[in-house]
Amino acid sequence: MHSIMRCMTELILIRHGETDWNRELRFQGQVDVALNSLGHEQSRRLAERLAAERPVVDHLICSDLVRTRQTAQPSLQVLFPQACIETLTDSSLREQDFGVVDGMRVDDIKAAHADAWARWLRFDADSGMPGGETTRQFHTRVMGAVRRIAQQHAGKTVLVVTHGGVLDMIWRTAHGQGLAGPRQSDIPNAGLSRVRVDGDALQVLHWADTRHLADLPAQPVYDQARLLVR
């Protein structure tokens, strides 16, 4: 029984703090957008919470994009003050690549890439924006990274700072939800979620905890289901 428990890995999952493009509901994708002032405050609040609660964390890893590195930095200083964030990044934890529409607002996409937008709204697992990843390709990349991290840190707890789309892929996998269809989970900026990885099985322990952000301004919400009725 002890050896079985040792193979389980717990991941504390954090979506990066807010950026101006989040506020504008742009497709950020893999464009290297920095946090805005609220995003920095969210990241500071997250680090304060970790400092107060002192969860057991054995390792930290984040996407290599600047918004995740900036989010992770205050927590890194609390948990591993001697570590360097540049050595703890993993490009496989990046957001989905949206190709030609990276950086664009929905209305601009509808005007400039009407056919691609119509295909996007089908939320088909094997469809993606021109020049970008399909949802299935993205899912394969994300879950490969999750399982590799879990294997490398078996029996440990890892803080993972990443992106909304990455967390959606993890949530879908844990709940046995297919890749087609709009997102159904809440994924707030600087929200805290926790999952347990046991081989190929994922279990959500808790999801989208934002108690540390309670008195901050309301967040912009990317609601895919709402896009269907626009």
Digit-coded pLDDT (tens) for 32-64: 999 999 999 999 999 999 999 999 999 999 999
Which parts of the chain register pLDDT below 70?
Answer: 1-6, 228-230
Residue 201 is predicted with a pLDDT of 94
Pick out the residues of the known binding site for substrate.
15-22, 67
Domain assignment present for 108: yes
* Integer CA distances (angstroms), 87 to 68, 155, 229, in order: 14, 22, 44
Backbone angles phi, psi at 118, to 5 degrees: -60, -40
* Integer CA distances (angstroms), 48 to 39, 44, 108, 144, in order: 14, 6, 38, 31
Residue 6 is predicted with a pLDDT of 54
Could you tell me the CATH number of the domain that includes residue 111? 3.40.50.1240
Contact call for residues 43 and 18 (beta carbons, < 8 A): no
Active site residues: 16, 95
Domain assignment present for 228: no
| pLDDT, tens digit (0-9, with 9 covering 90-100), for 194-226 | 999 998 899 999 999 999 999 999 999 877 877
Residue 2 is predicted with a pLDDT of 46
Residue 213 is predicted with a pLDDT of 98
Strand partners, 59: 158
3-state secondary structure of 169: helix
d(CA 45, CA 87): 23
Tokens of 117: 């937008």
- Quick one: DSSP state of residue 229? T
Domain assignment present for 114: yes
Pick out the residues of the known binding site.
15-22, 67
Contact call for residues 12 and 194 (beta carbons, < 8 A): yes
Domain assignment present for 227: no
Residue 60, CB-side half-sphere exposure with 13 Å CA sphere: 26
Tokens of 199: 């081989």
Residue 7 is predicted with a pLDDT of 79
Domain assignment present for 230: no
Domain assignment present for 222: no
Domain that holds residue 67: 2-217
Domain assignment present for 41: yes
Contact call for residues 63 and 89 (beta carbons, < 8 A): yes
Number of domains in the chain: 1
Contact call for residues 45 and 214 (beta carbons, < 8 A): no
